[in-house]
Each structure stands twice: as structure tokens, then as C-alpha cells.
Amino acid sequence: MNVLNGASILVTGGTGSFGKAFIRKVLAEHEPERVIVFSRDELKQFEMQGDGFTDKRLRFFLGDVRDRDRLFRAFDGVDVVVHAAALKQVPACEYNPFEAIRTNVIGGQNIIDMAIERGVRRVLALSTDKACNPANLYGATKLCSDKLFIAGNHYVGDKDTAFAVVRYGNVVGSRGSVVPFFVKQRATGRLPVTHEAMTRFWITLAQGVQFVLDSLERMQGGELFVPKIPSMNVMDLARAIGPDCEIDIVGIRPGEKLHEVMISEDDARNTLDMGSHFILQPEFSWWKKRGEPHRASGTPVPDGFRYSSDNNDTWLTTAQLRDIIRPFDPQA
């Protein structure tokens, strides 16, 4: 089964790093009826069209997830929604908390309400590792959003709409990524590192896109999907980008963690190991039937399990990091 063939697909935040990569792959490898780019920045939509996004199946729709009426119009005839729009910069969210809530939380509620009203079949929302045991407002808004989307399955009634969430780590080279920052700073001969022991989950944009596509196929409605991805130490990344640079330890910023967590010990009680990924199961009665296909092929994780960037089984070496960042750094 391919849920995208013949479907009308809408991507919120479609002009972002993920949105463009996702749309490019869908148009190249699937047969959708149309793909709608939903975003609020007319310049980015114009630039996207000038960057080779000229397929006749594409539609560009200006709008904001805060605007319920605009979403109601945009969702007309839509089968699949991938929700990637969010305010993501941690310092900006800390300084503008109400704006972060309006976009990440209220915007999520609007997506859920309009998807149900318009009869959208599948909605997959993108989350972040910062939503697990959040230490900053951005993570807290995304945790709230995750809970809303999972609970959205409780509100559909006799409709066919299903909601699920994908949670993964830092995307190499995306906007806000440390990679382009380090590449730029290398010219000074010094790289600022927050803490020498800091670790992060690491995923390429292509891997993130493929995981979302796989999750769209797998979802029954109610899952929170977490991929098994490698960790990296920030010092190894600094050595990969600037091997001859001096390192300045500048201290952890407000709201920042030393290590990221994608599955906490409390979440583990309802987590299935699916081999290539994990599924966090919801604690709702309707999941007993929906979750049967996953439980048949998955294995409950052990008590006390914690999926954290510092206790990962898979780590990237400096050489592997150089291979991964080469598209963003010709000197790697």
C-alpha cells in the first residue's frame, strides 16, 4: 500500500528544510494528485518556485497555522497532512513565549480541529527530542503539541481521520544547526563549545524524510514514532569541522540540556521496540484494538529503559561525521 499515490498532500511549513526535502522526494518517487505548500512567508514560496519546484502538481498556499479559517480552506479535499510548521529557535521561544504557544500549541489544535472537520485521512506531526522531559519552552510547547495530536484520535468519532507523531533528533545542516555555524566560525580559528561532554542525537535530512514517509505507511493512529539513530559528542563534531581550531568552552545556555532524551523511563512502560524504531503507545482505551498490528511484531522495552543521547548503542566517529557534513562543508 502507498498512501501517497493519488492523494492530495498538504505540508505545513513546506518552505523549510524538511518541507522542501520531503516534497522533492514525494514528487520524484510517488504519484500524488497534488502537493500543497502551506506557509506564511511569500518570499520563501517565491524562492522555492525559483529553486526548481515547478511541478504542475504543486500548489502554494499562503497561510498561518494560527488561522483556523485559512486552514479550513486549505484542507479542502486534502487526504494527508504533514505538520512541520513550528517556532523552533530555543532563545526566540524563551523571549517570545506567547508567540511560541500560539504557533506550536494553538496552531496544533487548529490543525487537529480542521483535519477532523475536513475529513483528512492521515495527519503526521513532527516533534523533537526536546519534547521529552523538556527543559525549555520550545520543548514544553512541542510536548503539549504531541499530547494534543495523540489525543486527537479520541475526538474523531466516526470519522476516518488518524493522528500520529514522529520524534527525532538534530538534523544535520538544517536551519539553526550547529554545522553551518561551526563552518562559519572556523575562519576565526576558534570554535565555541558549550560543554565538552555534551551529546546529541544526529540524523540526516534524507533519513528524517524517509522516516516520516515510512511512518505515514505504518501509522494506525495514536503512535509516537522514534527512530533508532546515532549519537555524537559535540567535541568530535568540532574536531571534524575545525581540527586545527582552538576550542572555547562557553557554558551551557539557558534551557539547554547536556544530553537529549527521546524516551524517558516513564514513557518506557508503554514503549515497543520495533527493530529499526520505537513506538510510544498511548494510554487510551481505543488503542487496544488499533495497536494490535504493532504489538504482534514489537517487543516491550525493559523496565527502566531510557533512550538518551549519552547511553546510546551507536556513536558517530569523527571520520563518520566528516562524511555526513561534507555536503555542507567542502573542507570536511
DSSP count for the chain of H helices, then E strands: 14, 17
Q: How far apart are CA 237 and CA 200, in angstroms?
A: 10
Q: Check if 130 is active-site.
A: yes
Strand partners of residue 271? 280
Tell me, what amino acid is at 69?
Answer: D
| Listed residue (135, 136, 113, 133) closest to 123, CA to CA | 113
Catalytic residue among 130, 142, 288, 289: 130
CA 140 to chain centre: 15
Report d(CA 248, CA 229) in Å as an integer.
28
Report which residue type is found at 137.
L
Distances (CA, A) of 298 to 132, 162, 271, 273, 281: 22, 21, 9, 5, 11
C-alpha cell read off for 32: 500524488
Helix, coil or strand: residue 11 = strand
Q: Please, what sign has the CA dihedral across residues 228, 79, 160, 150?
A: positive
* Angle between helix 234-241 and helix 318-325 axes, rounded to 10 deg: 60
Cell numbers standing for residue 197: 561532554
Is residue 176 within 8 Å of 237, Cβ to Cβ? no
DSSP state of 51: T
Q: Are strands 271-273 and 299-300 parallel, antiparallel or unpaired?
A: antiparallel
Which residue numbers are catalytic?
130
